[in-house]
Amino acid sequence: MFKFSILLVVASSVFLGGCYSTEPNAIASPSATLGNLVLAEPAAPSYRAQRALAQFNQIVLNGKLSDDERAQLLFQRGLVHDSLGLGALAHNDYLQAIRLQPLMSEAYNSLGIHYTTLGNFDEAYDALDATLDMDPSYAFAYFNRGLTAYYHERYELSYQDFSTYFELDNLDPLRSLWRYFAAVKYDAQSAHTELQTALEDLPESNWSRRIVSFFLGQLSQNELLDSVVNGIENQQQLNERLCELYFYLGKYHVQQGNSSIANNFFKLSLSTNIYEFVEYRFARIELNKLREQEAL
């Protein structure tokens, strides 16, 4: 299946490369800001992803595929659907892949995060537990199960999974942040100290380290916002960074009780259209939680 193999390579490049601007070196200038707030130019649907999707659809109709090949194809098509923000179609692809290949741990992992965003926590736990039963080294499943427990308000379980995920790579600033979010709910006294200890090991070269410094009060919001374009080479990189930054600023203002400000930052995260990022997916969940609180 030469064409099948080539298509998987194309799909992988879609996920790694993302949706690039027609002007690769174009980044936001000071004129694109409100004060020091850099606004995203919402990412357009990737032409490469759409072409890959069309090719996947053609090959799915090929009756000569084995069950294993069809399952892998459906899983890869699900990833493309997710990258285009087509969550329901992605969800269906993952379910079909599992029916054909019940031991596909990566499909269970993807299903788990979908169930979490839908608020179907029992199904999410089942899917992510299945992933780790089949492949205990599947690091991202610990993170996704931590998210499930966090949004299910089972903070001790969330902290345990986020800690496991952090220990697998303690140089990732965002892993330390999620562990901190769970710790604030579970063991608030040690949360700050633990995050400070994590910061000491984080490389200066990783821009996301600045978000951790901000949560520790070592950097002001204006200083963080002013630095957002540092090292940016193209519009896609900027959108990805803004998606993360605005989500975590939203989380900060939720902690501070500034619901209206948090609301705006979560909307700014959504405005980037970086559909496959965890921050994009959960910005909408955070917005819904804020609306529910306002309705009480």
Question: Is the pTM here over 0.95, yes or no?
Answer: no
The percent of residues above 90 in pLDDT, for the chain, comes to 69
Cβ contact 279:244 at 8 Å: yes
Mean pLDDT value of segment 132-154: 97
Amino acid at 121: F
Tell me the pLDDT tens digit for each residue of 250-290: 999 999 999 999 999 999 999 999 999 999 999 999 999 99
Tell me the pLDDT band of 296, cut-offs 50, 70 and 90. low
Taking CA 63 as the corner, what is the angle to CA 46 and CA 112, rounded to the nearest 5 degrees?
50
How does residue 18 score in pLDDT terms, banded at 50, 70 and 90? very low
12 contacts: CB under 8 Å, gap ≥ 6: none
CB 14 within 8 A of CB 80: yes
- Computed over every residue of the chain, the mean pLDDT equals 86
Q: In whole angstroms, give the CA distance from residue 80 to residue 87.
A: 10
Consecutive H or E run containing 169: none
pLDDT for 262: 96
How many CA atoms does the CB half-sphere of 19 hold within 13 Å?
A: 22
pLDDT digits (tens, 9 = 90+) for 35-93: 567 777 777 777 787 788 778 777 777 768 888 999 999 999 999 999 889 999 999 99
Cα-atom radius of gyration of the chain, to the nearest Å?
20
The ranges assigned to domains in the chain are 1-35+45-102
